[in-house]
Chain A
Amino acid sequence: EAQVTQNPRYLITVTGKKLTVTCSQNMNHEYMSWYRQDPGLGLRQIYYSMNVEVTDKGDVPEGYKVSRKEKRNFPLILESPSPNQTSLYFCASSLLGQSLNEQFFGPGTRLTVL
Chain B
Amino acid sequence: GQSLEQPSEVTAVEGAIVQINCTYQTSGFYGLSWYQQHDGGAPTFLSYNALDGLEETGRFSSFLSRSDSYGYLLLQELQMKDSASYFCAVSGSARQLTFGSGTQLTVLP
Chain A partners chain B: no
Q: Which residues of A contact B (CB under 8 A)?
A: none
